[in-house]
């Protein structure tokens, strides 16, 4: 019987900060998005205070002061390195490990012993990662990847599992699904949840009781596979796991904003490059994109402008150069000369499909095979030597004006910021 594990780092960004600030264990901690805008990671203590994910910082200033909540600006260099360390330890426990995101990975435990052995093995993995990196993880083990995701949620929620929950029979599966909201199931998106709710489907167990043929006709093959996975039938490969249907990278600019056209283009180029990287990461391509930039609507004393341009791509692509060029062309097509100070800009990729489902064009002049090989090499260099080591010239120095008032040191990647222990 196949058995999959899903290792999920608990409150990952917060946990990374706490590794080097143990004085914050047991205290409320928040990590903020780029430009210190919104909450993107919360400690359990912050969740207990009612702090919601995505809430703007300015809306919770009173709570931050009242409860002494520790704030951190997002430090993705640190988080990326800590993720690498976690994945390196996990890889020691199975020859088949597939990283799904910065804080999640799937492990194949098929034919590795009976359930009791796997329980002890799983708890050993949890302890080893926590001891080796300081990052707490939750491990769910089940016959399908979707059920493993369910199990990891229970491992995180209930201390009695000691970090490892196993769903290995129908009785456990049914009990778990009765307690699991259908909207939290891996692969069920917002629209699918809304449709299920209209039919009175509240839990994952309710979903499994539906007729399979009806599920297939109502939610396509993707929803049907999720239904089968919840039944205990492994039918979704890693390449078929839910991918983002749209990707957006945007940022608010510090101070008055950006007035220089070239600086704005540089910012948009960097956003487009990051979007393209995320596309390649999930093995997808996009066929349409939007570039936007606008001035602050709160500064009515300043000239106002709003740029929003939708761009169709003849052939689906994830090539950084192509996406960057299209975004800059789209920006220039709508740019107006004037004394405008743009406060925010961004790039959105949509109409996203699998890279294996690209409709070609007989008259396409680009050698996409060579471009793909080159892009993979560039990605490898940037992963090894740091983000932006190799980039397009239009991206400039990649040093945008970003508000990061609560940024922690680069403890693990910069010798000048290494942790100092005083005797």
From first to last of its 423 residues, the chain has per-residue pLDDT tens of 789 999 999 999 999 999 999 999 999 999 998 678 889 999 999 999 999 998 999 999 999 999 999 999 988 778 888 988 999 899 889 878 887 778 899 999 988 888 999 999 999 999 999 999 999 999 999 999 999 999 999 999 999 999 999 999 999 999 999 999 999 998 888 889 999 999 999 999 999 999 999 999 998 888 899 999 999 999 877 656 666 667 888 888 877 889 999 999 999 999 999 999 999 988 888 888 889 998 987 788 889 898 988 888 888 899 999 999 999 999 999 998 888 999 889 898 887 877 776 666 666 777 777 888 888 888 888 888 777 788 888 888 755 556 678 889 988 888 888 888 877
Query: Sign of the C-alpha dihedral, residues 201, 178, 125, 229?
Result: negative
Q: Is 349 helix (H, G, I), strand (E, B) or coil?
A: strand
Running DSSP on this structure, what letter comes out for residue 145?
A: H
The reported pLDDT for the residue numbered 241 is: 62
Q: Model pTM?
A: 0.72
Same-domain pairing of 175 and 274: no
The answer to whether position 133 is within a domain reads no
What does the block give as tokens for 164? 């490892």
> What CATH number corresponds to the domain at position 307?
3.30.1490.100
* Residue burial 154-185, b: 16+ Cβ < 10 Å; e: rest: bbbeeeebebbbbbbeeebbeebbeebebbeb
Same-domain pairing of 211 and 280: no
Positions of E strands within 225-364: 247-252, 284-295, 306-317, 342-354
The answer to whether position 267 is within a domain reads yes
The reported pLDDT for the residue numbered 399 is: 52
Closest CA to 152 of 139, 161, 142, 163: 139
> Are 219 and 209 a contacting pair, CB within 8 Å?
no
β-pairing, 306-317 vs 70-73, is unpaired
The answer to whether position 339 is within a domain reads yes
> What CATH number corresponds to the domain at position 232?
1.10.150.20
Residue 39: partners with Cβ closer than 8 Å, 6 or more residues away? 30, 31, 32, 33, 51, 52, 53, 54, 55, 57, 60
The reported pLDDT for the residue numbered 362 is: 64
Same-domain pairing of 117 and 225: yes
Closest CA to 15 of 133, 159, 106: 133
The answer to whether position 400 is within a domain reads no
> Are 147 and 230 a contacting pair, CB within 8 Å?
yes
Same-domain pairing of 111 and 193: yes
The answer to whether position 78 is within a domain reads no
Which of 213, 239, 265 terminates a domain? The answer is 239
What does the block give as tokens for 184? 């939290």
Same-domain pairing of 254 and 322: yes
Length of the chain: 423
The reported pLDDT for the residue numbered 245 is: 67
Same-domain pairing of 99 and 191: yes
> Are 41 and 62 a contacting pair, CB within 8 Å?
no
Q: Is 35 helix (H, G, I), strand (E, B) or coil?
A: helix
Tell me how far apart the alpha carbons of residues 73 and 390 are, in angstroms, rounded to a whole number: 25
The answer to whether position 86 is within a domain reads no
Residue 218: partners with Cβ closer than 8 Å, 6 or more residues away? 195
Closest CA to 164 of 6, 1, 2: 6
- Domain extent at residue 222: 94-124+140-239
C-alpha distances (whole Å) from 295 to each of 25, 250, 258, 260, 272 are 40, 14, 9, 13, 20
Same-domain pairing of 276 and 152: no
Same-domain pairing of 341 and 363: yes
Same-domain pairing of 289 and 216: no
The answer to whether position 109 is within a domain reads yes
> Are 118 and 109 a contacting pair, CB within 8 Å?
yes
Same-domain pairing of 271 and 389: yes
In the numeric block, the tokens 């680069």 are attached to 410
Which of 183, 209, 239 terminates a domain? The answer is 239
In the numeric block, the tokens 């640190």 are attached to 78
Same-domain pairing of 211 and 168: yes
The answer to whether position 210 is within a domain reads yes
What does the block give as tokens for 117? 């052995």
> Are 63 and 49 a contacting pair, CB within 8 Å?
yes
C-alpha distances (whole Å) from 368 to each of 128, 160, 279, 284, 288 are 43, 52, 15, 14, 18
Q: How many domains does the chain have?
A: 2
Q: Is 266 helix (H, G, I), strand (E, B) or coil?
A: helix
> Are 5 and 122 a contacting pair, CB within 8 Å?
yes
Same-domain pairing of 147 and 100: yes
Q: Is 311 helix (H, G, I), strand (E, B) or coil?
A: strand
Q: Is 73 helix (H, G, I), strand (E, B) or coil?
A: strand
CB atoms within 10 A of CB 381: 12
What does the block give as tokens for 57? 């910082």
The reported pLDDT for the residue numbered 257 is: 87
> Are 184 and 199 a contacting pair, CB within 8 Å?
no
Query: Sign of the C-alpha dihedral, residues 53, 55, 58, 63?
Result: negative
């Amino acid at each position: 019987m196949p058995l999959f594990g899903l290792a999920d780092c608990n409150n990952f960004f917060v946990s990374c900060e706490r590794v080097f600030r143990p004085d914050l264990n047991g205290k409320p901690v928040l990590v903020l998005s780029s430009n210190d805008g919104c909450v993107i990671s919360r400690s359990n203590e912050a969740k207990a205070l009612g702090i919601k994910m995505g809430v703007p910082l300015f809306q919770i200033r009173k709570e931050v002061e009242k409860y002494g909540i520790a704030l951190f600006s997002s430090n993705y260099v640190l988080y990326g390195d800590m993720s690498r360390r976690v994945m390196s330890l996990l890889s020691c426990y199975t020859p088949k490990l597939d990283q799904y995101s910065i804080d999640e990975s799937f492990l194949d435990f098929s034919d590795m012993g009976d359930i009791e052995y796997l329980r002890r093995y799983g708890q050993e993995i949890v302890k080893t990662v926590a001891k080796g990196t300081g990052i707490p993880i939750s491990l769910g083990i089940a016959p399908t990847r979707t059920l493993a995701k369910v199990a990891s949620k229970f491992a995180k929620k209930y201390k009695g599992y000691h970090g490892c929950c196993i769903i290995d029979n129908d009785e456990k599966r049914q009990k778990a699904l009765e307690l699991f909201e259908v909207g939290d199931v891996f692969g069920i998106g917002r629209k699918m949840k809304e449709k299920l709710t209209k039919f009175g489907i509240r839990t994952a167990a309710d979903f499994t009781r539906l007729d399979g043929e009806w599920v297939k006709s109502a939610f396509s093959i993707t929803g049907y596979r999720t239904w089968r996975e919840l039944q205990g039938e492994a039918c979704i490969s890693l390449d078929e796991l839910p991918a983002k249907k749209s990707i957006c990278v945007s940022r608010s600019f510090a101070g008055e904003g950006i007035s220089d056209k070239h600086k704005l283009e540089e910012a948009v180029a960097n956003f487009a490059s990051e979007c393209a990287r995320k596309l390649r990461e999930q093995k997808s391509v996009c066929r349409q994109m939007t570039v936007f930039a606008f001035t602050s609507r709160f500064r009515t004393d300043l000239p106002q402008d709003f740029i929003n341009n939708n761009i169709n791509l003849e052939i689906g692509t994830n090539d950084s150069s192509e996406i960057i060029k299209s975004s800059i062309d789209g920006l220039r097509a709508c740019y107006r000369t004037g004394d405008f100070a743009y406060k925010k800009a961004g790039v959105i990729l949509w109409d996203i499909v699998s890279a294996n489902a690209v409709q070609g064009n007989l008259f396409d002049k680009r050698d996409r095979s060579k471009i793909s090989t080159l892009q993979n090499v560039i990605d490898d260099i940037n992963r090894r030597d740091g983000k932006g080591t190799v980039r397009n010239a239009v991206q400039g120095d990649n040093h945008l004006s970003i508000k990061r008032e609560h940024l922690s040191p680069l403890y693990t990647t910069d010798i000048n910021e290494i942790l100092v222990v005083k005797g």
